[in-house]
C-alpha cells in the first residue's frame, strides 16, 4: 500500500493547508481579525463588482452555504454591504465598503510577504512549472 507522503495530491493539499495556516497567523500577528476566506471574497468582489454569490462560490471553491455565512460575517463587520437589486428583486448586490477597501489595501503588503516567504528557494522557472502542472491536473479533472 502506498504511503500518503508519496501521493502528489496529499503533498499539494498539505502545502496549501500549511500556507493558509501560515498566512492566517501572519494576519493575526499584524492585528487583523479577517480570515483568509473573508479576504478571498472581498478580493473577488473588488475584482468583479457585478459578480453573483454563485459565481463567488465557484471562484473561491466554497459551497454556497459557506459563502452565505462568510458574507453575513462581512456585512456584520461592515466590510461589505448587501442591498436588493433595483432591477431584479431576487438578486442581491454586494458592495465592498471603504473599511473593506482600506483593510484589503493594508493586507496586500502582508500577502506579498507571505507569498515570497512560501516561495523562497524557488526560481521563476520552477514556479512556472508548478503552475503548469496544477493547470494540467485541473484541466484533466474537468474532462
The whole-number pLDDT of residue 38 equals 97
Domain span at residue 80 reads 4-142
Classified as helix, coil or strand, 96 is: strand
* pTM for this predicted structure: 0.85
Residues 45-55 have pLDDT tens digits of: 999 988 989 99
**Measured distance CA(79)–CA(70) in Å, rounded:** 11
Q: How far is CA 122 from CA 5, 18, 63, 97, 115, in A?
A: 21, 17, 33, 37, 11
Q: Which residue stretches of the chain have pLDDT < 70? A: none
Which CATH number characterizes residue 24's domain?
1.10.10.10
Counting the structural domains of the chain, the total is 1
Residues 81-96 have pLDDT tens digits of: 999 878 887 788 899 9
Amino acid at each position: 500500500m502506498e504511503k500518503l507522503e508519496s501521493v502528489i495530491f496529499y503533498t499539494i493539499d498539505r502545502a496549501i493547508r500549511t500556507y493558509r495556516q501560515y498566512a492566517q497567523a501572519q494576519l493575526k500577528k499584524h492585528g487583523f481579525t479577517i480570515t483568509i476566506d473573508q479576504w478571498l471574497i472581498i478580493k473577488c468582489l473588488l475584482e468583479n463588482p457585478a459578480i453573483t454569490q454563485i459565481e463567488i462560490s465557484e471562484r473561491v471553491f466554497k459551497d454556497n452555504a459557506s459563502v452565505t455565512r462568510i458574507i453575513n460575517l462581512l456585512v456584520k463587520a461592515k466590510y461589505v454591504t448587501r442591498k436588493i437589486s433595483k432591477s431584479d428583486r431576487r438578486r442581491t448586490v454586494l458592495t465592498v465598503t471603504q473599511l473593506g477597501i482600506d483593510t484589503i489595501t493594508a493586507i496586500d503588503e502582508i500577502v506579498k510577504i507571505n507569498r515570497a516567504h512560501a516561495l523562497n528557494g524557488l526560481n521563476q522557472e520552477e514556479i512556472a512549472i508548478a503552475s503548469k502542472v496544477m493547470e494540467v491536473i485541473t484541466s484533466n479533472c474537468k474532462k
